[in-house]
Chain A
């Protein structure tokens, strides 16, 4: 069999396998991300059936996957939305950073992975998966709930924090000296500020450049400009992912909506490759030694995210059940944790076990997140009923009602 034929067969088998896994995930109502990771582990080095020939394609495809993940994230927001979201949620955002980055950083230090490892793992445990969360909120019919804007504004803050964090991370991973690193960070922060200001003021010009009536032309222009900007950003030491994210923010209005609609299938394809490649590069044998730490992190960061959501929702005067829902909704980690770990591993600047820990952690959290969001209502309801008697209601949380009577909420 000639080489191309073999590559096509392997690639086809991988994609088809992912399709089957995705369908399985949909059937049991969970995110497909953990299954893609498991798929990657299965076929990777040390896995059951190692695939070697499609490395060069999958490597580039997974890079494109990251670019598209971040581009579509940016397309979700307009710069103005980011700023208002930031103004409204910065306190909750800071609580979020402190509570959820700390466990990762502490574990990395305990394992002796140094400050760089701490920075990486802090990012992995900090960032919630907006993809999983938005989907779960929609599936559970919670878009109209009063706590949902709180959850979303925390996510907006996280996305903006990512735009700051990723260039810093890439600079640090580049192994530059302290002052060199400071310079790189300074440059990237300046670039980000300029881009955000440009997006806010002149976003429609950026939109006009990529916009086109013709679907094909439009697709090529959007995809091409994303890769161009990502490549240039990468050359300037700002990570490719951040470049794509900023381009996404600069594109706004109906252009952004069209671009989202058109790029979504592409993103799903390439992002799936990205997760598989991450799994491929992780030796399954390296997971058991770090599994205990992954479980510890999963338990701790589940509680810290619930606390974050609870705190943020309480500030918005939301009842106890709503606070619990907000907290549980934020639990899921996914695509961006893997993006961060992927950047660190490909730079080769961190301990090899970090990838294994990140994989195991995201496997747990991507499954735990949707489950937590689902079971929080019955659980919190039961707890509330048990506690209802001795507690004088000091907050505007409604006391349990007898069926048939409506609460007269104070206006």
Chain B
């Protein structure tokens, strides 16, 4: 994907790219860290249909929504030829006993045989987390294993 980076003197930076249908989508990052989501108009590709101010948290949540299916789809694709192996996203919910504890503490692989291949947090993908990776509520684990093992992992994350 060819992301175009355009400096906006006195304001910040615009980062956007063209879509297959000719429209543009991207963000304007202000100097003070504010982020606008921009979507170009269909009838006038120079102009913006929307210029939506997002807080850092909102931007992270949006990135998660947009990025997660792609990652999961990719993993599912890779594991398709292995019968009995599934990929699932498992959330660390608020109130989970592992909020604030590490991946090692959860001992997921030992207990269920499931591998945690990535953790998505605030729109960022943290691939191959090590046992000392500390969870916080809101994290999304990308886990690979048998359906049974994944079920057990979801329970562990919720109840310990």
Contacts and interface: CB of A to CB of B under 8 A. Distances in A.
Interface of A: 76-77, 81-82, 84-85, 130, 134, 138, 141-149, 152-153, 155-156, 257, 261, 318-319, 321-322, 325, 377, 398, 400-401, 405-409, 411
Contacts of A138: 11
B8 A398 contact: no
A144 B26 contact: yes
A147 B28 CA distance: 14
Given A406-B42, A409-B18, A411-B18, A145 B47 contact: yes
Given A257-B31, A406-B23, A77 B47 contact: no
Contacts of A318: 46
Nearest to A138: B11
Contacts of A321: 44, 46-47
Interface of B: 6-11, 14, 16, 18, 21-24, 26, 28, 31-32, 36, 38, 40, 42-48, 50-51
Contacts of A141: 48, 50-51
A400 B11 CA distance: 31
B11 A143 contact: yes
A152 B18 CA distance: 22
Q: Closest 5 interchain pairs by CB?
A: A144-B38, A409-B22, A322-B46, A141-B51, A146-B46
A325 B47 CA distance: 9
B48 A142 contact: yes
Given A144-B14, A152-B8, A257 B32 contact: yes
Contact of B42 (A76, A149, A261, A407): A407
B143 to A, nearest CB: 37
Contacts of A146: 24, 45-47
A398 B43 contact: yes
Contact of B9 (A81, A144, A322, A411): A81
A376 to B, nearest CB: 11
Contact of B51 (A77, A142, A407): A142
Contact of A134 (B10, B16, B21): B10
A81 B7 contact: yes
